[in-house]
């Protein structure tokens, strides 16, 4: 089985990947479509050239690699950014268990702006998440799962236990912690984005949760709110 985590950036997606990496039956993969996204959009992200050199930018080749991993592992966990699905044939999602991870866009944008000063709606991925949710509801063979990162942070054991039950896999206590530092599955971009997780040993409230939204990002926040509310409302049903 393949679990596809669809998230915006500056969420707890990396911490969730680290958590699932501790599970005895799960193989994790870090942002397999990142090179594809950078080549297609020509965006200049930190470590762009290194990322493109480190992995295939051919989406079909990446999907084939995922299916190969699926044959050799009981469960494969993909950590994906929602906007990395741009330009893909989404039908590959139909047989996966798709998890949509959301975070208050005020917190998300304030954090993202510390790395990329002027983020756009495309950068933060919320519209992509909403569009992908619509697709999975209509075409997917498994029910979409929407989780709020704050719910995991408030009670990691309860949140992860519930998520594992929805995925029909056993929860393991060792998913609650990990050793400080990187893991072998980290992408080459980890040095730019994963500092907080590398300094952690488990789930904890992010310092960025209390960071003020920069004035120049307020219009982006207003633009993002309807997509966040759509995802959040699905979570409440």
Per-domain residue ranges of the chain: 2-236
Is CATH 3.30.2450 the right assignment for the domain spanning 2-236?
A: no
d(CA 214, CA 113): 8
Q: Which residue has the higher pLDDT, 113 or 70?
A: 70
Judge whether residue 123 has pLDDT over 80: no
pLDDT tens per residue, range 142-155: 999 999 988 899 99
List Cα–Cα distances, 216 to 7, 121, 209, 220, 221, in angstroms: 23, 13, 18, 8, 10
- At 236, the pLDDT band (50, 70, 90 cuts) reads low
Q: How sure is the predictor about 207, in pLDDT bands with cuts at 50, 70 and 90?
A: low
pLDDT tens digits, one per residue of 17-40: 999 999 999 999 999 999 999 998
What pLDDT does residue 136 have? 94
pLDDT of 237 above 70? no
Does residue 205 carry a pLDDT above 90? Answer: no
- Residue 161, pLDDT score: 95
**Tell me: the pLDDT tens digits for 3-14?**
999 998 778 899
Write down the pLDDT at residue 235. 64
- Conformation bin of residue 218: beta by default, left when phi > 0, alpha when psi is -120 to 50: alpha
Pairing of strands 97-102, 145-148: parallel
- Of all residues in the chain, the percent with pLDDT exceeding 70 is 94
Q: What is the pLDDT of residue 109?
A: 78
CA distances from 28 to 23, 95, 215 (A): 10, 17, 37
Give the confidence band of 175 by pLDDT, cuts at 50, 70, 90: very high
Q: For residues 105 and 135, which has the higher predicted lDDT (pLDDT)?
A: 135
Instruction: State the pLDDT confidence band at 160, using cuts at 50, 70 and 90.
Output: very high
Query: How much is the average pLDDT of 119-134?
Result: 84
Asked whether 140 and 93 are in contact (CB, 8 A), the reply is yes
Query: So what's the pLDDT on residue 138?
Result: 93
pLDDT of residue 30: 93
Note the pLDDT tens digit of each residue in 52-99. Answer: 899 999 999 999 999 999 988 989 999 999 989 888 899 999 999 999
User: Across residues 98-109, what is the average pLDDT?
Assistant: 86
């Amino acid at each position: 089985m393949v679990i596809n985590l669809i998230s915006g950036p500056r969420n707890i997606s990396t911490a969730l990947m680290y958590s699932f990496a501790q599970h005895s039956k799960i193989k994790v993969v870090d942002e397999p479509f990142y090179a594809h996204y950078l080549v297609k959009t020509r965006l200049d992200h930190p470590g762009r050239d290194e990322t493109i050199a480190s992995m295939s930018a051919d989406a079909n080749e990446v999907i084939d690699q995922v299916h190969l991993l699926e044959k050799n592992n009981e469960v494969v966990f993909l950590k994906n950014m929602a906007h990395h699905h741009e330009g893909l044939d989404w039908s590959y999602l139909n047989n996966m268990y798709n998890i949509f991870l959301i975070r208050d866009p005020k917190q998300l944008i304030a954090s993202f702006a510390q790395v990329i000063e002027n983020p756009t709606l495309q950068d933060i991925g919320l519209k992509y998440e909403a569009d992908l949710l619509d697709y999975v509801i209509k075409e997917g063979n498994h029910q979409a799962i929407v989780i709020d990162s704050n719910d995991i942070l408030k009670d990691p054991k309860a949140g992860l236990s519930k998520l594992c039950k929805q995925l029909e896999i056993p929860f393991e206590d060792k998913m609650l912690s990990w050793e400080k530092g990187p893991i072998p599955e980290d992408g080459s971009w980890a040095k730019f984005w994963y500092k907080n997780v590398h300094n952690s040993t488990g789930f904890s409230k992010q310092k960025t949760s209390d960071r003020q939204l920069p004035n120049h990002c307020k219009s982006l926040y207003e633009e993002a709110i309807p997509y966040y509310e759509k995802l959040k409302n699905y979570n409440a049903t």
